[in-house]
Amino acid sequence: MSIKVGIIGAGFISGIHQRNLALDQRVELAAIYDVDRERAGALGVDSVDELFARCDAVYIASPNTTHADLAVKAIEAGKHVFCEKPMATTVADARRVHAAAEKVKTVFQVGHNRRFAPAYRRVAELLHGCEAHCAHIKMNRGELLNPPWTADASVTGGFLFETPIHMFDMMRFQFGEIVGLDAREGRKDDFSCLIEFETGTYATFVTSADASWFFPYESLEVYGAYATIQTFEMESIEYRMGLDKPTMKEHYANLDVPAKWGFAEEDRRFIDAISQKAKAAVTSYDGLRSVEIACGCYLSAAEKRRVDLAPRP
Ligand SMILES: NC(=O)c1ccc[n+]([C@@H]2O[C@H](COP(=O)([O-])OP(=O)(O)OC[C@H]3O[C@@H](n4cnc5c(N)ncnc54)[C@H](O)[C@@H]3O)[C@@H](O)[C@H]2O)c1
């Protein structure tokens, strides 16, 4: 029997998930709800409750500040939930979602797609054989002008909840748990941060909202014992794993966006988890932690001091 999926939100990212799910024979796309009824198209329904009535699993693909309430509502309605990033835009809301998700046996996955991008998976593979000594991570945007809501914190929760939050999850994925950070905000939405991991490794992280669309917008440089790994967006990676080794370059530019950015794989893994009654590949705790890190950066920058992040209870 197919898994009936409903999607809340019919914008850009909804289109990507719709395309991936249409290719998965285990799935029937059953309903779409959008506040703008016309955008939902032929599968459009008039309310979230009507959508819940028609589906087993729900994708939350509406703007950031709507996620937490919708996620709790969907969990409590007994649905498997795929929640786009950020899981919430305050720590209190993220804890509320995590607590609700922990109480039930349904699958709850957060849309931190970078974990599934081939470029970042390759970095993780290389790091199995090489301890990271330190790293430098960048996540820039060109502007917060288009679309205009990208500069509206009542929609996004703030710049750090937009693209930078992806890299908070990416850092945990590559280097383990983050235990503390020290962030400064130069101008508005331009942050420089020192991040401490539980392994004792440190990384620097910079993010600028208006850096022009200069390639690569995001990159990861990792330094190990006589080794360097560098990513260029999710298009390619270069690495040298030893003084006697050549510099290697691997390209992913020929993949389509859903494969290259990890969207196809994250959707497949969500449906796998439902089918196999397994835990999600990116859990509500991962979602909570990314929100805690974003909020920690805002607090650290506002008070110009280091912020410790509580260990996992
Ligand atoms: N994982 C990623 O890489 C990635 C990429 C893009 C967007 N996103 C996330 O996906 C979400 C949507 O982003 P987008 O780029 O698709 O935005 P979008 O503006 O293209 O689409 C959002 C849609 O949600 C609808 N909407 C607004 N409020 C709603 C509500 N309360 N209930 C139902 N529908 C509502 C809008 O009418 C619009 O159709 C955001 O949270 C964003 O952060 C994630």
Q: What is the CATH number of the domain that holds 275?
A: 3.40.50.720
Mean pLDDT, consecutive 10-residue segments, the chain of 313 residues? 96 98 98 97 98 98 98 98 98 98 98 98 95 97 93 97 98 97 97 97 97 96 97 98 97 98 98 98 98 98 97 79
Cβ of 302 closer than 6 Å to ligand 1, yes or no, is no
Cβ of 48 closer than 6 Å to ligand 1, yes or no, is no
Asked if the structure places residue 80 within a domain, the reply is yes
Q: Do 108 and 122 reside in the same domain of the chain?
A: no
Asked if the structure places residue 93 within a domain, the reply is yes
Q: Do 148 and 296 reside in the same domain of the chain?
A: yes
Cβ of 116 closer than 6 Å to ligand 1, yes or no, is no
Q: Do 155 and 11 reside in the same domain of the chain?
A: no
Token couple for 159: 């710049």
- Give the range of the structural domain holding residue 167, as residue numbers without chain letter: 115-255+291-308
Asked if the structure places residue 78 within a domain, the reply is yes
Asked if the structure places residue 204 within a domain, the reply is yes
Local structure of residue 116 (DSSP, 8 states): G
SS3 312: coil
Q: Do 108 and 213 reside in the same domain of the chain?
A: no
Q: Do 239 and 270 reside in the same domain of the chain?
A: no
* Mutate-to-test residue for ligand 1 from 7, 8, 12, 19, highest number of ligand atoms within 8 A of CB: 12
Asked if the structure places residue 286 within a domain, the reply is no
Domain with residue 216: its CATH number is: 3.30.360.10
Q: How far is the CA of 34 from the centre of ligand 1 (A)?
A: 10
Q: Do 187 and 242 reside in the same domain of the chain?
A: yes
Q: Do 59 and 146 reside in the same domain of the chain?
A: no
Cβ of 11 closer than 6 Å to ligand 1, yes or no, is yes
Give the helix, strand, coil percentages of the chain, each rounded to 5.
Answer: 40, 25, 35
Q: Do 107 and 187 reside in the same domain of the chain?
A: no
Cβ of 111 closer than 6 Å to ligand 1, yes or no, is yes
Could you tell me if 5 and 30 are in contact, meaning their C-beta atoms sit under 8 angstroms apart?
Answer: yes
- Count of structural domains within the chain: 2
Asked if the structure places residue 313 within a domain, the reply is no
pLDDT digits 0-9 by tens, 243-259: 999 999 999 999 999 99
Amino acid making up residue 111: G
Q: How far apart are CA 121 and CA 238, in angstroms?
A: 13
Q: How far is the CA of 60 from the centre of ligand 1 (A)?
A: 8
Q: Do 149 and 226 reside in the same domain of the chain?
A: yes
H helices present in 129-261, as ranges: 153-156, 164-175, 257-260
Q: Do 37 and 163 reside in the same domain of the chain?
A: no
Of 90, 58, 21, nearest to 264 by C-alpha is: 21
Q: Do 188 and 47 reside in the same domain of the chain?
A: no
Cβ of 142 closer than 6 Å to ligand 1, yes or no, is no
Ligand 1: which residue has its CA nearest to atom 40?
63
Asked if the structure places residue 144 within a domain, the reply is yes
Q: How far apart are CA 292 and CA 91, in angstroms?
A: 6
Distances from the Cα of 261 to the Cαs of 72, 112, 141, 289, in angstroms?
27, 10, 16, 21
Q: Do 249 and 269 reside in the same domain of the chain?
A: no
Asked if the structure places residue 128 within a domain, the reply is yes
Q: How far apart are CA 289 and CA 94, in angstroms?
A: 9
CB atoms within 10 A of CB 23: 11
Q: How far is the CA of 155 from the centre of ligand 1 (A)?
A: 10
Q: How far is the CA of 197 from the centre of ligand 1 (A)?
A: 31
Cβ of 9 closer than 6 Å to ligand 1, yes or no, is yes
Q: How far is the CA of 180 from the centre of ligand 1 (A)?
A: 30
